[in-house]
Amino acid sequence: MLDTAKQKVGLRIWRKIRQSSYVIGVTLGVIAFIAAPAQSQSRIKDIVDFEGVRENLLVGYGLVVGLNGTGDGLGSAIFTKESLIGMLERLGVNARDNNLDTKNVAAVMVTAKLPPFSRQGSNIDITVSSLGDASNLLGGTLLVTPLLAADGEVYAVAQGNLQVGGFTAQGAAASIVKGVPTSARIPNGAIIEREVPFKLAGLKRVRLSLRNPDFTTARRVSRAVNAFVGLPASRVTDPATVEVVVPDNYKNQVVDLLTDIEQLLVEPDQIAKIVIDEQSGIIVMGENVRISTVAIAQGNLTIRITETPQVSQPAPFSNGGTTKEVPRTKIEIQEDKDNKLTLLANSVTLQELVNGINALGIGPRDMISILQAIKAAGAMQAEIEVL
């Protein structure tokens, strides 16, 4: 009996150890999974835009005064003259005079961005750009300028002293210009007068717009959202849009839902593309670029012709002969014989492609021509975009 009791106690202890080992093993597995670094993953926040959460562009026309003789010429900039006369008349000053002439005023365009959910009374930055032939806006003051949106309504009013980043200096025989003195900024130079109505908290559906539309990326975003909320709450409507139905536990808490969604990690997919800027010789290739079996050779043939005419004249004190110019031509032919034929195997990686092309010892300009030739031969499974 005693041996049987000992066996039972030992069995219970062994079962507890085995359960503890299983729990420890599962815990270590979870920790290892969490600690594993995310490869090429990005936050949903960085690859999508939430529909309705966007900026609005504002524009306005105004006058800058107080310039030190660097403004518009009223004779050439008629709109500046008419705007100045109209402004003075609204202030009770009769300026209808043909002799009106000043170089201290400039007509400008004022631009700004109205941030999402901006409230009345808050301030935004504005940019002021010369519209006429003003040479410098340094020291100028922008007068009250209404800023309109695409619907023609006034959403902000701008005014203030200009901050010019550039300058110009001129002497009798030389001049220097740094930056763009005909463009300026006014930090917090506009006051918001009208709000854009948008009720985010009461939405029942939210759309995520991918900045780079792609079927695979959109499906990965949808699956990540569904896995997080534990429900099939999202679906892909097109390569650029993922529609999310607000779950019941997030009812009237759309901000919390978007905050949680934008922190989820997704690995964006990308098409095989090569971007070429022929002007600067820049080449950017995606990691999915693949090349079928192809042989590449690159060589240059240079022919140089040099003319060095010589003067031929008779010997001193000779009775005959004349002085003549005798042509001398030197022809040189240079051929790159060291360049070899390089073979790229089927479905090479991006690194192998770069190594194979670099083995030819060529520069970016010739590399552009080679990539275009490979594409024309049908051996490249990638899209070439020339800027």
What pLDDT, on a 0 to 100 scale, did the predictor assign at position 340? 54
Residue 3 has pLDDT above 60, yes or no: no
What pLDDT, on a 0 to 100 scale, did the predictor assign at position 34? 35
Residue 356: band (very low, low, confident or very high) from pLDDT cuts 50, 70, 90: low
**Looking at 22-26, 95-99, 188-192, 344-348, which range is the least confident one?**
22-26
Give the torsion sign (CA, 262, 266, 271, 272): positive
What pLDDT, on a 0 to 100 scale, did the predictor assign at position 335? 55
Residue 328 has pLDDT above 70, yes or no: yes
Residue 11: band (very low, low, confident or very high) from pLDDT cuts 50, 70, 90: very low
Residue 204 DSSP class? S
What is the three-class DSSP state of 210?
Answer: strand
What pLDDT, on a 0 to 100 scale, did the predictor assign at position 37? 44
**Looking at 194-198, 231-235, 328-332, 371-375, which range is the least confident one?**
328-332
> Mean per-residue pLDDT for 21-48?
54
Residue 360 has pLDDT above 70, yes or no: no
Residue 313: band (very low, low, confident or very high) from pLDDT cuts 50, 70, 90: confident
Model pLDDT for residues 88-133, shown as the tens digit of each residue: 888 888 877 667 788 899 999 999 999 988 899 999 999 999 998 8
Residue 189 has pLDDT above 90, yes or no: yes
Q: What is the dihedral of CA 156, 157, 163, 166, to 10 degrees?
A: 70
- Closest listed residue to residue 360, CA positions, set 382, 385, 340: 340
What pLDDT, on a 0 to 100 scale, did the predictor assign at position 27? 36
What pLDDT, on a 0 to 100 scale, did the predictor assign at position 332? 64
Model pLDDT for residues 226-263, shown as the tens digit of each residue: 999 988 999 999 999 999 999 988 888 888 999 999 99
Model pLDDT for residues 137-186, shown as the tens digit of each residue: 988 999 999 999 999 999 999 999 999 887 676 666 677 777 788 999 99
Where helices occur in 36-148 by DSSP H, the ranges are 44-47, 78-90
Q: For residue 208, list its beta bridge partners.
A: 50, 242
Q: For residue 277, list its beta bridge partners.
A: 282
Measured CA distances, 334 to 307, 308, 329 (Å): 17, 20, 16
Helix axes 254-261, 215-229, angle to 10 degrees: 120
Domain edges within the chain:
56-192, 205-266, 273-308+325-386
What pLDDT, on a 0 to 100 scale, did the predictor assign at position 13? 45
What pLDDT, on a 0 to 100 scale, did the predictor assign at position 383? 80
Cα separation, 214 vs 212, in Å, equals 6
> Mean per-residue pLDDT for 369-386?
78
Residue 300 has pLDDT above 70, yes or no: no
What pLDDT, on a 0 to 100 scale, did the predictor assign at position 60? 96
Residue 271: band (very low, low, confident or very high) from pLDDT cuts 50, 70, 90: confident
- Closest listed residue to residue 60, CA positions, set 127, 134, 119: 127
- Closest listed residue to residue 146, CA positions, set 155, 131, 157, 136: 157
Higher pLDDT, 375 or 126: 126
